[in-house]
Structure formats: C-alpha cells, structure tokens
Amino acid sequence: MTIGVVGMGMSGLRTAMLLEGRGYDVKLFEARGRPGGRLHTIDEGHGTLYEAGGEWIDSDHFRIIELLKEFDMEPEARPTWPQRVVFRGKTATEDEIWNNALEDDLRVEAAARELCRDLKAPAWANTDHAELDQRTLGDFLREHTQSDEGLWWVTAKYRSDEGDDLDKIGLLGWLSGYMNYLDREGDVMSAYRVPGGFRGLCEKMVASLRTTPCYGAVLHKVSQDEGGLWLHFERSKERVDHVVLTLPPPALERVIFEPALTVRKRCAVEACGMSRAVKISWEFDRAWWIDDGWGGSMLNDGPLQQTWDGGLGESPVMTAYICGSQAAEWARLGDPVMAGLYELHQLCPQASEHFVRGWWHDWVTDKFALGAFSHLAPRYVLEHMEAIALPESRIHFAGEHTASWVGFIEGAVESAERVVKEVEAATG
Ligand SMILES: Cc1cc2nc3c(=O)[nH]c(=O)nc-3n(C[C@H](O)[C@H](O)[C@H](O)COP(=O)(O)OP(=O)(O)OC[C@H]3O[C@@H](n4cnc5c(N)ncnc54)[C@H](O)[C@@H]3O)c2cc1C
C-alpha cells in the first residue's frame, strides 16, 4: 500500500514518519528545495543563525516537545527577562504594566472565561452560539476595555498569536483556542525554542525516513480514474493508493482536482483565513540590549509592533515580528530592513550604531505558503471549519489549518497524528 504525502513541513514530515512506522510505503513530495516549509532556520554564516518562520513552542505543546525528545533534542527555555512595553512614549514592563491596562486585561480575561464556560469542543459543535461566530475579537476587546492603554495592550498581546488584525479574527474561533489556555498556570506562552533552530529537527526527521524525498516537485493536479489515484507534477506523474495533502489552504486552492473536490470542501479551503505576518532580522556587532539591562523583547505601539532577541548562534540578532495591515505596509517598502532599523533607532538609539546587516522575510508573498499561518475568520467556524479536514475518497488533508491547535507547529503535528489514524481506518 503506497501513500503519497505532499508537503514536507512539520505536518508532512510527521505524517511520513508515522505512516512508515505503521508499515506503509510512503512517497514524499515537496515543492521547495528543502524540508521544513514555514519552519525555516537561516544560517547566514559566521555564527549568524535565526528563525525566519515558526519559532516558539508553548510549554503545553506536548506533541512537539515529545517529538524533540524522540530525537534527543532538549527545548531551550526562553530567557527570563521581562518584556518591555512601549505605548505613546511611555515605557513599562509586562510584569509591571500600567494599572488601567492591567485592569482591562483582567476584564477581558474574565469575560472570555465566562463565555468559554458554555462552549464545547470541537468548535463547530457550538451551533447555538452563532452570534459569537459572527463577531470579531477586535469588537470583543473594545467592548471589555476602558482605557487606550488597555485596548492597545490586549490587542498587542493577542495579535501576536493570531498573526493579523483582530477585526479579521472571529470571536468563536478565538474562544475555542482560548479554551486551551484555561488551565494554564502563569505565563507559559512562547516558553521554548529549538537550540540551533528547527532546521536541525527537520533534517533529523528526514534522515529517519526510509523513503527518499522528492524535492522541487510542485503538485499541479490530483486525478482519479480506473487506473488509480494520480499525482501530477511538472515533469512526472506518480500513482499512489491514497494521498495526504499538507499544503496550506491558498496553495491547495491552486491544485486542480479531477473529479473536483466537493463544493463544501472548496468553500472551506477558500474561507480559511491566512494571517499576514512578516519578520525583519538585524545582526548587530554587540547585543546592545543586554548592555542596556534588557532581554530584547518588546511590544510597542509603533510600526515594528514586537521585537525579541532572535539570535540562535553566536552573533547578536534582533527580530521584529509584524502582523496584519502594518505587515502589508512594510511589504510595500523598497528596503524594509533599513526602514525598520530607522524605526528601531527611534525606540532604541543604540541600534543604528551597532548595526551590521539585516534580512526581510515576507510570508504573504511566499508562493508555497501565501500567508504566515491560518486563523479562524468570522463565520468560518460554524460554516466551514468541520469540512477543512474531512477526507474526499482517497484524498486526505493535514496541516496546521486542519488542527484544533490552528496556526501552531503543535497543530501541524496534531494533524499528522489525526490523518494517520484516518488512513489506517480507510485502508483496513
Ligand atoms: C513568521 C511566522 C512565525 C510563526 N511563528 C510561530 C511560532 O512562534 N510558534 C508556532 O507554533 N507556530 C508559528 N508559526 C506557524 C508554523 O510555522 C506553522 O503552523 C507550521 O510550520 C505549519 O506546518 P505545516 O506542515 O502545516 O505547513 P507548511 O510548513 O507550510 O508545509 C506545507 C509544505 O507544502 C509545500 N507545498 C506548498 N504547495 C505545494 C505544491 N503545490 N506542491 C508540493 N508542495 C507544496 C510547502 O513548500 C511546504 O513545505 C509561524 C509561522 C510564520 C510564517
């Protein structure tokens, strides 16, 4: 029994490993020339190493933590410096935030917890909460905050995980993710990184496989006839018994299916929101933020939105992570690296003095991702979410967008576990 797996991001790699472990022959295809997909550790040489894509693991992302352990890799704890917070020129830290912001934060949290009490899993089972599905997270935050500081603070905090403007995020979808956090103690978000970056993990996953992956294989068409199920690439056509497609939704939309996918599936793929997130990374000749008694993490109300110490090697690197319409504005600039350095200089004048070189990573125009990660847009949960993961005859779907941990690396691994059970059930 041969199973095709298309896409070698975290979901495709984990799917291939699990299928081989259950005795299937796997054929693995990837459009890019490397594994990892939206996990992309960049090594610029001379000790300059950073993540251009997915980076952080929360401490309750147990699947990815277990996977690292399987390869004898220990997740590295986030530095304990408190995050700096800058709003309208005033500076605070996240653990000593202004009182009005803290009160608003607590009000939002209490309101979210209250709404979660009535919700069930999976998210699309909440058919009696259509009004929540129609509302946006942005509206909800405006309703439960009273100060400008508070509204900005909660917006900045939640935007980071959603990866886009909060008026694009459906409230029911957000609450169904928030339910994952209800039992969390303390701040366990962005708790770990992978030492040396995700590249090492992805390479180890590839090396553990029996199959030889096929790189540079862009899937154009999936067809089925009496002869079987065919995957059509630019220069070849492969026959498989079942296929697992892990392409992000906008990339999936570009594939032709003969016979066509159901209308329900096509609508779900089209309606799945893709967040706009970009990164700027700057290398410096010294970690001036450490000299300054600060860890480099900052949330600010300027166009840079969020920064952290992004260096995974010896050279100091600071990364800015920008989401939503501001990300789209950065993408329009001729030289976002230098424009970003100018903005960073406004916040931290030492930055320009120590600058060496920098890089820009735009996932919105990346042709095999077309967005950073998926989010649950208004009306998506009740109208479409259930259909996104459903198989269609011998075609199966995985990827972070098909998981309950939507958008996360953890979701990509979760989707692999789910789809492998599905293939097993379908193949007896
Ligand atoms: C800037 C950024 C920051 C992020 N930060 C975090 C974070 O801190 N924590 C976190 O948990 N998550 C984060 N994420 C999200 C995380 O990276 C993704 O959820 C996860 O890597 C998705 O894995 P996947 O396998 O589902 O998809 P992908 O990694 O996209 O894998 C799909 C694969 O399919 C391939 N493909 C596409 N089209 C075709 C085709 N036609 N033919 C063949 N192959 C094709 C792609 O090249 C890709 O390799 C971030 C993402 C970005 C972009």
In this prediction, residues 251-256 reach a mean pLDDT of 98
Nearest atom within ligand 1 for CA of residue 52: 1
Q: How far is the CA of 373 from the centre of ligand 1 (A)?
A: 7
Task: Please name the fold of domain 2-39+197-273+374-427.
Answer: FAD/NAD(P)-binding domain (3.50.50)
Q: What is the CATH number of domain 277-363?
A: 3.90.660.10
Which CATH number does 99-181 carry? Answer: 1.10.405.10
pTM score over 0.85? yes
What percent of the chain shows pLDDT beyond 90? 93
227 confidence band (pLDDT: 50, 70, 90):
confident
Place of tokens 């735009």: 362
> How many angstroms separate the CA atoms of 56 and 194, rounded?
8
Distance of CA 403 to CAs 60, 99, 388, Å? 15, 37, 9
Atom of ligand 1 lying closest to residue 374 CA: 19
Averaged pLDDT for residues 214-227: 95
* Cα→Cα distances 159→4, 43, 325, 375, 395, Å: 36, 28, 12, 11, 34
pLDDT band, residue 186 (cuts 50/70/90): low
Decide if pLDDT at 194 tops 80: yes
What pLDDT digit, counting tens, does each position of 314-346 carry?
999 999 999 999 999 999 999 999 999 999 999
Question: Each residue of 54-73: pLDDT tens digit?
Answer: 999 998 899 999 999 999 99
Rounded to whole angstroms, how far apart are CA atoms 244 and 297? Answer: 38
Instruction: Give the tokens for residue 193.
Output: 């990184």
Q: Is the peptide bond prior to 82 cis by the omega test (within 30 degrees of 0)?
A: no
* Whole-number pLDDT of residue 81: 87
Helix (H, G, I), strand (E, B) or coil at 345: helix
What's the CA-to-centroid distance between 105 and ligand 1, angstroms?
31
For ligand 1, whether the C-beta of 32 sits within 6 Å is: yes
Of 186, 157, 75, 115, the C-alpha closest to 410 is: 75
Strand partners, 283: 317, 357
Could you tell me what percent of the chain has a pLDDT over 70? 99
The domain spans of the chain are: 2-39+197-273+374-427, 99-181, 277-363
Which residue do the tokens 């500081």 mark?
149
On the question of pLDDT at 428 being above 90, the answer is no
Give, for ligand 1, the residue of 247, 364, 375, 388 to mutate: max count of ligand atoms closer than 8 Å to Cβ: 247
pLDDT tier for residue 185 given thresholds of 50, 70 and 90: low
The DSSP 8-state label assigned to residue 404 in this structure reads S
How many residues can be counted in the chain?
428
CA of 46 relative to ligand 1 center, distance in Å:
27
pLDDT(24) > 60: yes
Ligand 1 geometric centre to CA of 92 (Å)? 34
Quick one: pLDDT at residue 331? Answer: 92
CB of 161 closer than 6 angstroms to any ligand 1 atom: no
The SS3 of residue 320 is strand
pLDDT, mean of residues 111-133: 96
